[in-house]
């Protein structure tokens, strides 16, 4: 397998694993997650909605037939997170979000 094919197969899988992992932690709602969501102005329990969506998007990325839908979903999710971080002035997670956005755009490009 060529390096290009390996990378093109690996990006959606890696992104999917990251989205599932992050979504699971968000859904579980440790105190730091609940505090962040409250500080950002979201209603109580909203972290479960976001965490659930992230898990679904991650799983979609891991299934070849639905990977493109997962890539678009991850880009929308991360774009919303970036917008929220900019709006709230809380930019400490912005570098990671930018990396995830680049991976989402790469995953979309792989399927185009």
Q: pLDDT by residue (tens digit) across 47-69?
A: 999 999 999 999 999 999 999 99
Mean pLDDT score, 87-101: 90
Q: How far apart are the first and last CA of the chain?
A: 20
- pLDDT over 70, % of the chain: 99
CA distance 104 to 91: 20
For residue 72, give every residue at least 6 positions away whose Cβ sits within 8 Å of its Cβ, in sequence order, or none.
Answer: 108
In tens, the pLDDT along 19-52 reads 999 999 999 999 999 999 999 999 999 999 999 9
Return the ∠ at Cα 17 (arms to 28 and 80), rounded to 5°. Answer: 70
């Amino acid at each position: 397998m060529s390096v290009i094919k390996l990378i093109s197969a690996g990006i959606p899988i890696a992104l999917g694993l990251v989205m599932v992992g992050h979504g699971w932690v968000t859904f579980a709602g440790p105190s730091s997650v609940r505090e962040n969501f409250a500080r950002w102005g979201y209603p109580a329990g909203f972290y479960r909605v976001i965490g659930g969506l992230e898990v679904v998007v991650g799983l979609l990325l891991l299934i070849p037939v639905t990977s493109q839908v997962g890539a678009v979903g991850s880009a929308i999710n991360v774009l919303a997170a970036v917008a929220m971080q900019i709006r709230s002035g809380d930019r400490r997670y912005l570098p990671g979000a930018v990396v995830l956005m680049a991976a989402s755009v790469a995953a979309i490009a792989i399927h185009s």
